[in-house]
Chain A
Amino acid sequence: MRKIWTIAWKELYTTYTDRNLVLIMIATPLLVASIIALAFGGQGGVSIQNIPVAVVNLDEGSGGQNFGAIFVSAFVPPAAGAALAGQDAPACPDAPASGTAAGSGLFELTDAVELDDADAARAAVDAGVYAAAVIIPPDFSRKIGYGPGDPVEPVSVEVYGSSGREVAAGIIRSVVESISSQIAAGHIAIAAALETVGQEYGMLRLLSLANSPEFAASAACAFTPAYNTLTVTQQTVAGQRVDSRAALLVVVGSSQAMFFMLFTGQGGVFSVFEERRQGTLQRLIVSPTPRLVILVGKMVGTFVSCVLQLVFLFAALTLVGSLISGQLTLIWGDQVLAIALVIGAAALAATGLGTLLAGAARTPEQGQIFASVINLGLAVLGGAFGFVLPESVSRFSMIWWGSDAFRRLSLGQADIIPHLLVLLAHGVILFGIGFWLFNRRLDI
């Protein structure tokens, strides 16, 4: 119906011609995400320095290869590091000529030590000595060093964060995530390259091939401090380039975008209250326009507003990411359709939440209070404030579902179907209940 679009268009027009609103909707989350990403001490950027970190490598290795050591070498400067000590700096073909340990952004960012005892490290974090402890499990290499035909087993590196230093712990967590994905990616690439060799030699275990000098060299090249982990880019499985700072921009940017979109969703639906106060809602009701059309028009406007907010933000963050890395970088990945679907589902969930709150609140003031409490709660749970919460807890927040889906897509992964379904379910259920409540309230 044409009137729905007229109302929706008017919503968008009034929203996006309001400079203050646009500032809050787009500029604020953009700034927050960019500052955090720049905090990684890029040239001239704001920097967070010397985060105290404990690295505990319990990895028992597999086939002579110890992947856990990569973490140690990434965090701990060579002088103090134990893992690659004694090895000569590998000859890395495309490493910068002047690439030395002094150039590593990570060493400036963190002040890491290697410990042997995981419990002691956790206790030290609790005591406030370290912002986070990175603990690599004993079976890390065994599980990650698979060959064709081996079952793919999930393995995780624990980041034990201090609850008093969420931002620092969050940064460490994202660094670990980025290193993990690089290990997986680098290893898979090499394993795939060696597969042909494996077939020639029949029974040859690829695991021992992974231990070949070529692999060791290239892994070392990729992850030694000399190469500067933070700027290194690696081929991922999808053949896409990933930058750690860009990865952080994705993690922080998407959760900030989700968080701020909640306000847009609520603001859009709550504007009904404003319209009632200024009398324009009454004008709409006395025009030959069914109430349902008025309501749906408002919601369509709000939904599109949320979508636009995400699109603008993602485009802007892509620009920021590209500026940081000095070249055009599609930080969100290239699965445009999947990204669009997640954006749509997330916007629906946010609009649904707004509708529910507007329907449940007796007064706009009450609605605003509900909204603030719920948004902050979802943000804390969903990791928008850099809190490191277990995934089982984060799953209660639509912010997590949205930002995790965007993060996965940015890494070239495609397993976002559950995320889509959860967001859609949020949208449909909240919308349904809210709509029903709200329609009754429109009867002034």
Chain B
Amino acid sequence: MQTMVEVRGLAKTFRRADGTAVQAVKGIDLDIFKGEVFSLLGPNGAGKTTTISMISGLLTPTVGDATIGGHSITRQPTQAKRLLGVVPQEIALYPTLTARQNLEFFGRMYGLSGKALATSVDEVLEFIDLRDRQKDRVETFSGGMKRRVNIGVGLLHKPQLVYMDEPTVGVDPQSRRRILDTVMRLKEERGMTVLYTTHLMEEAQELSNRVGIIDHGQIIAMGTVGDLIQKVGEEDRLFLKVGDQAVSDEVLRRIQERVPGVTRAVYDPPGAEGEDRSNTSGVIIVSAKRGRRALPQLIQIAMEAGIEIQSVEVREPDLEAVFLHLTGRALRD
């Protein structure tokens, strides 16, 4: 497999105004292969944007280097940047220019001109489905439409690699679906390599060939979704909703000791920041090898303790579980 991006020992330390240092990225090694979708998955503040900014040449690394298509971003920035299309996290467009003018301006910045530029702009407008609104100022667009233009700018010069930094943040479900489909089309129809960052495990799971999980500025696990799930031993998680009934440690201890296959049982009281965020009810979270089989016994123990279970949810292993397993914290804060 051909390598598109090679990241070695990349680190960034920011210096705050008060003089203290923030180690946002602490030495990352990473390879991204041609034609794959690679996701960087991590919670807010993990260092995703900082990493990607160094790869794209926006930030100068404190230590380390990255190459795109063999060109070092620190030593041959112009060559490296030519191969890269950028879709930043925040919408980065000129509000008073029309969609078409924005595309044309940035197209010129990538060295396009004349007929090639016009063709390219037309293609992109087609691709992001905004042909009929191309003559309108971007400031009159809806959030979802702006997002689409924001993506379009990154595709103008038909880059080999396109990075998208949390492109679905603050987008309605319909637009979000559209963006995810776009990513798949870029990979499948155009053979582009995509570097995608997100804090949503569903997105990483759906899109990626491979995922790097990043936390506190370090990659803590990397591989295909299947590989990563293997790591947590294919455990299911059971969520037993108990309302505002108290759950004693004794109950949790009994679950862990008496039910076969259970590796962990924790109680998440109502209102607390827990794994289940829509948490108006207390939840007992049980990790178990074969979750469904353990269910009858769990209910039995609860009844013995006088706890009435209001509902049960079984979740198959996912990247969320991997993150929980690796860090002891939930992916979403």
List the interface of chain A (C-beta within 8 A of B). 2-3, 6, 10, 13-14, 17-18, 278-280, 282-290, 443-444
A288 CA to B71 CA in the complex, in Å?
13
A438 CA to B285 CA in the complex, in Å?
55
| Most chain B CB neighbours (cut-off 10 Å) among A3, A17, A287, A288 | A287
Q: How many A-B residue pairs have CB under 8 A?
A: 65
The prevalent SS among residues of B at the interface is: loop
Are A286 and B96 in contact, with the CB atoms below 8 A? no
Are A284 and B94 in contact, with the CB atoms below 8 A? no
Given the contacts A3-B109, A6-B109, A284-B109, A279 and B91 also touching, CB distance less than 8 Å: yes
A279 closest partner in B (C-beta): B92
Are A278 and B82 in contact, with the CB atoms below 8 A? no
A44 CA to B302 CA in the complex, in Å?
95
A282 CA to B154 CA in the complex, in Å?
13
Of B26-34, B53-61, B317-325, which stretch is located at the interface?
B53-61
Chain B min CB distance to A31 (Å): 25
Interface: B140 (CB within 8 A): no
> Which of A13, A282, A443 contacts B92, CB < 8 Å?
A282
A282 closest partner in B (C-beta): B58
> Which of A3, A279, A286, A443 contacts B81, CB < 8 Å?
A286
Are B88 and A17 in contact, with the CB atoms below 8 A? no
Are A286 and B78 in contact, with the CB atoms below 8 A? no
From 281 to 309 in chain B, residues with beta carbon under 8 angstroms from any chain A beta carbon are none
Are B88 and A282 in contact, with the CB atoms below 8 A? yes
Are B58 and A10 in contact, with the CB atoms below 8 A? no
Chain A min CB distance to B316 (Å): 38
Are B108 and A283 in contact, with the CB atoms below 8 A? no
> Which of A14, A282, A289, A443 contacts B109, CB < 8 Å?
A289
A285 CA to B77 CA in the complex, in Å?
10
Are A6 and B105 in contact, with the CB atoms below 8 A? yes
Report A-chain residues with C-beta under 8 Å of the C-beta of B141. none
Report B-chain residues with C-beta under 8 Å of the C-beta of A283. 86, 88, 92, 106, 109, 153
Are A280 and B93 in contact, with the CB atoms below 8 A? yes
Interface CB pairs A-B, < 8 A, 26:
A2-B108, A13-B101, A14-B96, A278-B92, A278-B94, A278-B95, A279-B91, A279-B92, A280-B93, A282-B58, A282-B88, A283-B86, A283-B88, A283-B92, A283-B109, A283-B153, A286-B56, A286-B57, A287-B109, A287-B110, A288-B77, A288-B82, A288-B109, A288-B110, A289-B109, A443-B60
Are A287 and B81 in contact, with the CB atoms below 8 A? yes
A376 CA to B76 CA in the complex, in Å?
46
A18-B96, A288-B82 are known; give 13 further A-B pairs, CB within 8 A: A6-B105, A10-B97, A13-B97, A278-B95, A279-B88, A279-B93, A280-B93, A280-B94, A283-B86, A283-B92, A283-B109, A284-B109, A285-B58
Interface: B313 (CB within 8 A): no
Chain B min CB distance to A130 (Å): 52
Interface: B230 (CB within 8 A): no
Contact with A along B47-89 (1 / 0, CB 8 A): 0000000001111100000000000000001110110101010
| Most chain B CB neighbours (cut-off 10 Å) among A17, A18, A285, A444 | A285
Q: Which 9 A-B pairs have the closest CB atoms?
A: A279-B92, A288-B81, A287-B109, A286-B56, A6-B108, A288-B78, A283-B92, A286-B86, A288-B82
A248 CA to B79 CA in the complex, in Å?
58
B73 closest partner in A (C-beta): A286
A10 CA to B153 CA in the complex, in Å?
16
Report B-chain residues with C-beta under 8 Å of the C-beta of A289. 109
Report A-chain residues with C-beta under 8 Å of the C-beta of B328. none
A6 CA to B108 CA in the complex, in Å?
7
Chain B min CB distance to A273 (Å): 15
Chain B min CB distance to A439 (Å): 14
> Which of A3, A10, A282, A286 contacts B94, CB < 8 Å?
A10
Interface: B19 (CB within 8 A): no
A278 CA to B109 CA in the complex, in Å?
17
Are B59 and A444 in contact, with the CB atoms below 8 A? yes
From 101 to 135 in chain B, residues with beta carbon under 8 angstroms from any chain A beta carbon are 101, 105-106, 108-111, 113
Chain A min CB distance to B49 (Å): 11
Report A-chain residues with C-beta under 8 Å of the C-beta of B91. 279
Are A285 and B57 in contact, with the CB atoms below 8 A? yes
A122 CA to B168 CA in the complex, in Å?
74
A293 closest partner in B (C-beta): B109
A280 CA to B77 CA in the complex, in Å?
19
Are A2 and B113 in contact, with the CB atoms below 8 A? yes
| Most chain B CB neighbours (cut-off 10 Å) among A10, A279, A283, A290 | A283
Are A288 and B111 in contact, with the CB atoms below 8 A? yes
Interface: B273 (CB within 8 A): no
Report A-chain residues with C-beta under 8 Å of the C-beta of B58. 282, 285-286, 444
Are A279 and B60 in contact, with the CB atoms below 8 A? no
A188 CA to B95 CA in the complex, in Å?
60
Report B-chain residues with C-beta under 8 Å of the C-beta of A279. 88, 90-93
Are A14 and B97 in contact, with the CB atoms below 8 A? yes
Given the contacts A2-B113, A282-B88, A444-B58, A287 and B106 also touching, CB distance less than 8 Å: yes
| Most chain A CB neighbours (cut-off 10 Å) among B59, B90, B105 | B105
Are B78 and A290 in contact, with the CB atoms below 8 A? yes
Chain A min CB distance to B305 (Å): 55
A284 CA to B91 CA in the complex, in Å?
13
Are A280 and B92 in contact, with the CB atoms below 8 A? yes
Chain A min CB distance to B36 (Å): 21
Report A-chain residues with C-beta under 8 Å of the C-beta of B78. 288, 290
A443 CA to B58 CA in the complex, in Å?
8
Report B-chain residues with C-beta under 8 Å of the C-beta of A10. 94, 97, 105
A22 CA to B82 CA in the complex, in Å?
37
A444 CA to B59 CA in the complex, in Å?
7
A291 closest partner in B (C-beta): B77
A283 CA to B79 CA in the complex, in Å?
16
A289 CA to B81 CA in the complex, in Å?
9
Report B-chain residues with C-beta under 8 Å of the C-beta of A444. 58-59
Report B-chain residues with C-beta under 8 Å of the C-beta of A290. 78
Chain B min CB distance to A277 (Å): 9
Report B-chain residues with C-beta under 8 Å of the C-beta of A288. 77-79, 81-82, 109-111
Chain B min CB distance to A1 (Å): 11
Report A-chain residues with C-beta under 8 Å of the C-beta of B95. 278
Are B86 and A17 in contact, with the CB atoms below 8 A? no
A441 CA to B53 CA in the complex, in Å?
17
A282 CA to B52 CA in the complex, in Å?
12
A18 closest partner in B (C-beta): B96
| Most chain B CB neighbours (cut-off 10 Å) among A6, A284, A444 | A6
Chain B min CB distance to A115 (Å): 60
Report B-chain residues with C-beta under 8 Å of the C-beta of A284. 109
A412 CA to B212 CA in the complex, in Å?
74
B57 closest partner in A (C-beta): A286
Report B-chain residues with C-beta under 8 Å of the C-beta of A13. 97, 101
Are A3 and B96 in contact, with the CB atoms below 8 A? no
Report A-chain residues with C-beta under 8 Å of the C-beta of B97. 10, 13-14
